[in-house]
Amino acid sequence: MKTYIYLDKTFLEKDTCTRMFTAAPFTIAKTWKQPKCPSTDDWIRKMWYIYTVEYYSAIKKNKIMSFAATWMELETLILSEVSQKEKDRYHMISLITGI
């Protein structure tokens, strides 16, 4: 099954496998807690915009595999940062309470 996208009067064709790449940011966003301040929400929107622009740029240049590898590395980095924040929070609580 193929779908077609019209972007700025440019015709792009994409396979169904591209849905996996657009699902990656949603997977990242699900691991995060709800943003507590507007700046975090703005940052997520900015990352989504950058991701989308780079994705369509990669399609136009036929370099989709290098694009996928870059964003998979970013997902790993973000997940490790989230887990590090949780570890830091646990250590701070244990220091404060004396556990």
Q: What burial class does residue 95 get, using C-beta atoms within 10 Å of its C-beta: 0-12 exposed, 13-18 middle, 19+ buried?
A: exposed
Total of domains in the chain: 1
Residue 19 belongs to domain spanning: 2-97
pLDDT at 16: 46
Q: Which residue has the higher pLDDT, 7 or 66?
A: 66
Average pLDDT over residues 50-79: 68
* pLDDT tens-place string over residues 17-47: 455 455 555 555 555 555 555 566 677 777 7
* pLDDT tens-place string over residues 48-60: 777 777 777 777 7
